[in-house]
């Protein structure tokens, strides 16, 4: 007892106690409702993915899983809320590449959290390639013709995205870099407006999710050119990848959605969550629904996901720095 009265001994005892509790926590987890925070509004890609996943997790994880939207601040309000939640696995974040891997380079010191320190990667859920579509009036029908046309008209072609510094914007910057072209970026507040202005010809092209563009493509209101993934996407195999055009062979930049927990969440709980999500994503029905939404299911181990984010961040930082992208 004397030994335990020493501050260092008490601290050591507490640490050992926490470590000993972790497996028990995992066995009893979840002990109440699990909330998946979506840092964007209802109806978008992250929200739909979260709701589809939550429905399946009620079986693979057990218990009630609900989705809560906390939109604003380019996804950072919801993400920050999760960093402040109890680290017990009952409050999670389904985050996109923006607020977890790109924003630190765009907003720099203005962020109120550090994704690498305040969040624990659980697993990648889906990779979400964007699709490049152009106005019908544009005299091009494939990537090669688009690049050639852009080179003949430097600074005259415009492309819309849903904001500054997000994956769509980086898609445009990467196309300019690898294609050796100069275009004008026009940021919008959402997919609907950016697509409508392409259909009217007010804007020449846009990078957008396949889900948002699908009805416009099917109605013949825009011309699909390619997807931004390194290879063709299973949900639209008829569309080539930009990388199939030889000068763009190194082109690969996708959005992605992944599950995160607050820093300090016991590893045993993280591993249980990872197993539950992996099992959910192996369900053919859920995988089919996710692909219909333009997502490619891609579960990873927590360490693989951590390494994936680190690798992605290298490219994001390089593009943001090279293009001198900063948020107002």
Q: Which pLDDT does position 25 carry in this prediction?
A: 58
Q: Could you give the angle at which helices 191-199 and 210-218 cross, rounded to 10 degrees?
A: 30
Asked whether residue 157 is assigned to any structural domain, the reply reads yes
Say if residue 258 is in the same domain as residue 295.
yes
Which one is predicted more confidently, 7 or 105?
105
Q: Quick one: 72 and 158 in the same domain?
A: no
Q: Is the pLDDT of residue 12 over 80?
A: no
pLDDT of res. 123: 98
Given a contact cutoff of 8 angstroms between Cβ atoms, the answer to whether 198 and 108 are in contact is no
Give the count of domains, the chain: 2
177 and 212 in a common domain: yes
160 and 222 fall within a common domain: yes
What is the CATH classification number for the domain harbouring 39? 3.40.190.150
Do 203 and 228 lie in one domain? The reply is yes
Of 248, 279, 299, the position where a domain reaches its end is: 248
pLDDT given for residue 81 in this prediction: 98
Tell whether 239 and 269 lie within a shared domain: no
Are the C-beta atoms of 104 and 271 separated by less than 8 Å? no
- Strands 34-38 vs 158-161: parallel, antiparallel or unpaired: unpaired
Please indicate, yes or no, if residue 280 is contained in any of the structural domains.
Answer: yes
Using pLDDT thresholds of 50, 70 and 90, give the confidence band for residue 8.
very low
Q: What is the mean pLDDT of residues 59-66?
A: 96
- Find where tokens 């090669």 sit: 144
Of 248, 280, 301, the position where a domain reaches its end is: 248
pLDDT tens digit string along 41-58? 998 899 999 999 999 999
- Side-chain-facing half-sphere of 93: CA atoms under 13 Å: 33
Q: Which pLDDT belongs to residue 36?
A: 98
pLDDT digits (tens, 9 = 90+) for 93-119: 999 999 999 999 999 888 999 999 999
> Are residue 141 and residue 222 in the same domain, yes or no?
yes
Q: Is the pLDDT of residue 259 over 80?
A: yes
Closest of 133, 176, 132, 174 to residue 155, by C-alpha: 176
Check whether residue 182 and residue 319 sit in a common domain.
Answer: no
Q: What is the pLDDT of residue 323?
A: 96
Is the pLDDT assigned to residue 264 strictly greater than 50? yes
For residues 274-279, average pLDDT = 98
Indicate whether 244 and 261 sit together in one domain: no
pLDDT at 7: 41
- DSSP letter at 163 equals S
- Last residue of a domain, which of 227, 248, 269? 248
Residues 44 and 141 in one domain: no
What's the Cα-to-Cα distance from 223 to each of 133, 215, 219, 298, rounded to whole Å? 5, 12, 10, 28
Residue 1: per-residue pLDDT = 36
pLDDT of residue 24: 58
Choose between 189 and 217: higher pLDDT: 217
Q: Range of 233's domain?
A: 130-248
User: Measuring CA to CA, which residue among 126, 140, 127, 128 is closest to residue 224?
Assistant: 140
Question: What pLDDT sits at residue 23?
Answer: 60
Give me the chain's average pLDDT, please. 92
- Check residue 15 and give its pLDDT: 43
pLDDT tens readout for residues 63-85: 999 999 999 999 999 999 999 99
Q: Is 159 within 8 Å of 184 (Cβ atoms)?
A: yes
pLDDT digits (tens, 9 = 90+) for 116-144: 999 999 999 999 999 999 999 999 999 99
């Amino acid at each position: 007892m004397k030994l335990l009265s020493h501050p260092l001994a008490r601290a050591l005892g507490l640490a050992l106690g926490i470590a000993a509790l972790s497996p028990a926590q995992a066995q009893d987890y979840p002990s109440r409702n699990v909330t998946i925070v979506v840092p964007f509004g209802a109806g978008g890609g992250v929200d739909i993915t979260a709701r589809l996943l939550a429905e399946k997790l009620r079986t693979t994880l057990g218990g009630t899983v609900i989705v809560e939207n906390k939109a604003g601040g380019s996804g950072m309000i919801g993400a920050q809320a999760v960093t402040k939640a109890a680290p017990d696995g009952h409050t999670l974040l389904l985050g996109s590449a923006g607020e977890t891997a790109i924003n630190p380079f765009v907003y720099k010191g203005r962020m109120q959290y550090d994704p690498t320190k305040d969040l624990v990667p659980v697993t990648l859920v889906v990779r979400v390639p964007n699709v490049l579509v152009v106005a019908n009036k544009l005299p091009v029908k494939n990537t090669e013709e688009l690049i050639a046309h852009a080179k003949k008209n430097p600074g005259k072609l415009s492309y819309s995205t849903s904001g500054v510094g997000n994956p769509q914007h980086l898609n445009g910057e990467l196309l300019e870099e690898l294609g050796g072209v100069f275009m004008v970026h026009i940021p919008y507040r959402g997919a609907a407006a950016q697509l409508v202005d392409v259909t009217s010809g007010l804007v020449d092209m846009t990078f957008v999710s396949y889900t948002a563009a699908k009805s416009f493509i099917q109605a013949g209101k825009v011309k699909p050119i390619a997807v931004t993934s390194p290879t063709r996407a299973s949900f639209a195999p008829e569309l080539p990848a930009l990388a199939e055009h030889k000068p763009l062979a190194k082109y690969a930049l996708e959005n992605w959605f992944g599950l995160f927990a607050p820093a300090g969440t016991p590893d045993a709980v993280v591993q249980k969550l990872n197993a539950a999500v992996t099992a959910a994503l192996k369900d053919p029905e859920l995988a089919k629904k996710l692909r219909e939404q333009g997502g490619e299911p891609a579960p990873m181990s927590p360490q693989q996901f951590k390494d994936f984010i680190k690798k992605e961040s290298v490219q994001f930082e390089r593009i943001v720095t090279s293009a001198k992208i900063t948020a107002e």
